Amino acid sequence: MIRRTLGKVFDRVADAYDAARPGYPDGLFAALAELAETSLNGALVVDVGAGTGISTRALQARGARVVAVDPGAEMLSRLVSRGAGAAVRADGNQLPLHDGVADLVCYAQSWHWLDPVVSVNEARRVLRRTGMIAAWWNTHDTARADWLAGYEAELAELAPEYWGPAHPQWRVPSIAAVLDVEERWVHWTRLVTVDDFLLDLRSHSYMAALDPGQADELVGRLRGRLDGDAQEGVLTVPMRVYLAVGR
C-alpha cells in the first residue's frame, strides 16, 4: 500500500512542475549510454520518481521502452495526460515489477526521496544481470554566473527549507556512498523567460512548504532582481547535471 504522505509534496505543485521544470540536455543521455555501456534504443527502462514525465519522455525520445513509477497521483496524471505510456502509481522502494526484467533503473531528480539502501536493492532485484542503475540531478551552475549566485543566496535567505547551491551544507545526493558509481558533470545552458523561471521556482519542495501568501511575496521579491538580469525578458541560465551510473 502507498503511504498517504508519499508523493504529496510534489502533488501540491504539479502544474508548475509540469509547465516550467527544465528538461535534460542531449549530453546527459550520451554520457548515460557511455557509462552504462548500452544503448537506450530498445532498452526496458524503469523511471522511478517519474513525476510529470520529463525524464520519461526524454528516455522514450531516445527509443527506450519506459515504465514510469511514481507515488504522486497528481504528478502522474500530468504524465498520463501527455500520453507517456506505461505508468504505475507505486513506491519506488517496492517496485511492482518481476525480478530480472529491466535493462536500466533510473532516478531523475528523485533518488534522494527514496530509502538509500532499500531503493538500490530493489533496483537490483528488477534488473537483468547486465542491467545498470543511473541517477541524475539538474542544478543551477552558480559558479558560472554572478547574477545566479546572487539570486540563489537571496532565495536561501527567504525560504527556510531552501536546499540548493547557496546552502552551506549543499552537496549532490550521496548515491556514491551506497553504490559503486562512475560520475559525470554535464554542463548546459537554459534560455528561459523570467515568468517560467519563477514558475519553475514554485515547483520546488521548499516552496511547497510555504503558505501561498508567503510564496507569492517571495516570488515578487525575486522577480524584482531577475528583471534586471534578463534580456528582453529572457534569462540565460548556466546549468549542470550530476550523473551517477553503477550496478
Ligand X SMILES: C[S@@+](CC[C@H](N)C(=O)[O-])C[C@H]1O[C@@H](n2cnc3c(N)ncnc32)[C@H](O)[C@@H]1O
Q: Which residue among 35, 46, 110, 206 contacts ligand X (CB under 6 A)?
A: 110
Site for ligand X in 134-163 (CB under 6 A): none
* Grid cell at residue 22: 527544465
Closer by beta carbon to ligand X, 4 or else 129: 4
Contact between 207 and ligand X (CB under 6 A)? no
Residue 32 one-letter amino acid: L
Site for ligand X in 117-136 (CB under 6 A): none
Helix axis angle, 194-202 to 212-229, nearest 10°: 150
Cα–Cα separations (whole angstroms), residue 34 to 7, 134, 244: 31, 12, 12
* Grid cell at residue 35: 557509462
Contact 200, 190 (CB under 8 A): no
For ligand X, which stretch binds (CB under 6 A), given 106-114, 121-129, 145-153, 155-163? 106-114
Using DSSP bridges, classify how beta strands 102-108 and 44-48 pair: parallel, antiparallel or unpaired: parallel
Sheet (strand 234-246) strand order? 86-89, 65-70, 44-48, 102-108, 127-140, 234-246, 181-193
Contact between 109 and ligand X (CB under 6 A)? yes
**What is the C-alpha to C-alpha distance for residues 69 and 88, in angstroms, rounded to an integer?**
5
Nearest approach, Cβ of residue 120 and ligand X (Å): 13
Site for ligand X in 78-97 (CB under 6 A): 91-93
**Of all residues in this chain, which one has the CB nearest to ligand X in the complex?**
51
Contact between 114 and ligand X (CB under 6 A)? yes
Nearest approach, Cβ of residue 24 and ligand X (Å): 7
Contact between 10 and ligand X (CB under 6 A)? yes
Strands (E), 160-208: 181-193
Site for ligand X in 41-60 (CB under 6 A): 48-51, 54-55
Contact between 25 and ligand X (CB under 6 A)? no
Question: 195: helix, coil or strand?
Answer: helix
Nearest approach, Cβ of residue 55 and ligand X (Å): 4
For ligand X, which stretch binds (CB under 6 A), given 3-11, 153-161, 184-192, 236-244? 3-11
Nearest approach, Cβ of residue 158 and ligand X (Å): 21
Q: What DSSP assignment string belongs to 125-158?
A: HHEEEEEEEEEEEEEE-GGG-HHHHHHHHHHHHH
Nearest approach, Cβ of residue 93 and ligand X (Å): 5
Residues that bind ligand X (CB under 6 A): 6-7, 10, 21, 48-51, 54-55, 69-72, 75, 91-93, 108-110, 113-114
